[in-house]
Chains A and B, each alone.
Chain A
Amino acid sequence: MNNVTQIVQKVRQAPWRVQRQWIGLFLLGLVVIAMVAGVYLNITVRATLAGREIQMLRNPSLLNPFPDSQPNSISTDQRINTELETQLAGLTSVESMRQRAEAMGFQAITPGDMIFVAVPGYPEQSTVDLSTSSSNHLAAPVILPEYTESWFDYFLNQQVSSAASGAQP
């Protein structure tokens, strides 16, 4: 029996060593938690900053009592674009163009001046299509996927993109 006790006492760690291991484990856990919290905080802060920036662009009056002094807001840019579009239409109005044409020596054409030539395959004049025009529409908010995707999605996308880039010749 004494022999058994002696053996246990020989293989058991010294108490201070056990204590240090526990402290080490605790600190390791703390570091891991701190790292996760840091990453989480980093992502959250970046998302918040981006959201703030979008807020400022879309609605400067939320933060600024002088919204029109915000030069780069979406509403300001949209208003300037619309204004310029109207100004351009005024500069190219029928009356303006007629005066400019006359000043340049052009005359109105008459049916007698016209010569028609048959060109096979030449497309007929079509009416305007403004489908692609987005001048009058607010742009949809663009948020990078980094701010919305989960970690699982992130790592999956990384794997897919790295696999895809690896497949490149």
Chain B
Amino acid sequence: MKRLPNAWRYLSIAIIMATMGIAILVQIVRVQGSQEVAGVIDQGDFVWKDFYPPRGEIYDRNGHLLAGNKTVYEIGLDLTANPDMPTVMLALQMSGIDLNEVNYRISQEPPTAKYITLADFISANKAELLINLQKKAHGDPTGKNLDAIFFKAHFARSYPENDLASNVLGFVTQDNHGYLGIEEKYDNILAGLPVRMLVPADPRRVTEYPNIPPGQTIILTIDREIQASIEQILDQALKSTGASSGTIVVMDPKTGDILAMSSTPRMNLNDYQNISTIFPGETPFNRAISQAYEPGSVVKILTMAGALDGSIVKPDTVYFDPGFIVVGGHRIEDWNGQPWGYQDMTGCLANSLNDCLAWVATQMGNDLFYSYMQRFGLGHATGIDLAQETTGRLKLPGDSDWSPMELGTNAFGQGMSATPLQMVMAASALANNGQMVYPQVLYAQIQDGKQIDTKTQIVGTPISSNTAHTISDMLANALESESSGALIPGYRIAGKTGTAQVPLPTGGYDQINVNASFIGWGPLDDPRFIVYIWLEKPQSNKAASVVVAPIFKQVVETLIVSLDIPDDATRLEISGR
């Protein structure tokens, strides 16, 4: 048979094509048989994956981190790798890991277990020591290596400021649950909840990969500089007065922003395990919201505000003070038991006359008096966004334990109870043109990278703007007339002391110890802050005007610096331009 003249060309093409085909087949077999691909194929189309999103961070109003996250390690042991247990235990001990906990965990595992979690929440430093030991022992010819140890990093809560604002923040336990304070109140939005999901193993479906959102970051109204200052002042006050506990609250009366809030004791939130030691028994975690007490004479500002607003009295209304008054068949005496003679209403406040305010309350009558007390929010929780707020108690006519005498005693803060925050919220009406603001700790939250600010909420308008200005002016005059230790040169401040007897659980009042309080706000023409101070059972002196007024002055001096508040003259000069 005659061969075609160009047959070699066809033959070449055929050989090339055949070679390419064979090469492709070889490559397919090689790729399919590779270890990596075999591993991927074994996974199937989807694989289970555990996600541990980080808990949302907490910042103060100026962007300083108050609660963040740190890396800790879970340390596990693969029993199928036949680990040399004495070597493993020695390495754990050398890394500073508690062997008692390790032994306990091992004892809890069934004999058939293939993997054991030896320890969890191990600090990065300890884990690093163990990793270094593992590297050194790797490939040990005697088989005494640590290759069976596994490390799984995850987040744990960390508080870089330690005990700063601890009463407000609360804490997070190892199971990622928030307790007390902000951590409990906003646990549902802060916690990035761990989830177990099926994720596609196919790299071409990477866009279907689930995006697990982290916990939301939040910004608090707290100013850490002010917070640190009031905590320092409070600690010094407890030392100098011998008080058993103390509380200071600072709020912006226009917005309700809590700028600082502290009570004693405080705790380093990184060591929350010590809580039962630091807060034994029924000790409240945050007295500002969780401990109601008889506030005493600071309530007189509310009684007087109600009477002024109800046109029962005017600032120049004169009352003749014989030193006592009988209300509901009960004799109520002034704090010194002496007659004070003729006093106008400012004098009644300046001298903190119990019988004068009891008289004012009787002039108001039950309906009007208790109506105003309720409008000021007494007897109801403020609703602040902190966990474990208590309501206090305001007995009302008709209640089984209310007696007519209560009208007189409630007028000066006895026979009723309120938390420091309730008093602050009530007083915000006096400092904010009659409008009472909702106290809040959440300034903003970050959602999808956008900051959503919390809006100011007005709870109500218990008194008119005119009344608010009048009572503020009377209180400023009262402070000035008594040359109070709370006065700050150059700044006009409204304020009122409160020295209250401590009720006994068995009935009656403690004849030795008192609760000393002070509430004040300023500058008078444009209030930027309300400060409430409460010292429980001070020993150096019983009078709040002596014990607490100087502390108030210290706090206000700090606020003037931190909030950049010019003195009255400068401010008027600037506003007049």
Contact = CB atoms under 8 A, between A and B. Distances in A.
A82 B68 contact: yes
A138 B61 CA distance: 24
Main DSSP-derived SS at the A contact region? helix
B446 interface: yes
A131 B450 contact: yes
Given A90-B160, A94-B161, A111 B560 contact: yes
Contacts, number: 160
Contacts of A92: 64
Contacts of B39: 63
B76 to A, nearest CB: 12
Contacts of B40: 63
Given A16-B4, A125-B564, A130-B219, A59 B49 contact: yes
Nearest to B164: A94
Interface string A125-169: 101111111101110110100000000000000000000000000
Contacts of B214: 136-138
- For this complex, into which size category does the number of interface residues on chain B fall? 35 or more
A111 B488 contact: yes
Contacts of A85: 57, 65, 68
Contacts of A137: 213-214, 448-449
B443 interface: yes
Nearest to A118: B574
Contacts of A61: 49
Main DSSP-derived SS at the B contact region? mixed
B43 interface: yes
A141 B161 contact: no
A114 interface: yes
Contact of A94 (B4, B49, B224, B567): B224
B54 A48 contact: no
A93 B4 contact: no
Interface of A: 16, 23, 27, 44, 47-52, 54-55, 58-59, 61-63, 66-68, 76, 78-80, 82-83, 85-90, 92-95, 98, 109-111, 114, 116, 118, 125, 127-134, 136-138, 140-141, 143
22 contacts: A51-B205, A54-B206, A54-B209, A58-B206, A58-B209, A63-B40, A66-B150, A67-B152, A82-B54, A85-B57, A86-B160, A93-B161, A95-B161, A98-B228, A109-B561, A114-B561, A116-B574, A118-B574, A128-B62, A131-B450, A136-B215, A136-B217
CB-CB nearest 4 A-B residue pairs: A51-B203, A128-B63, A89-B65, A86-B68
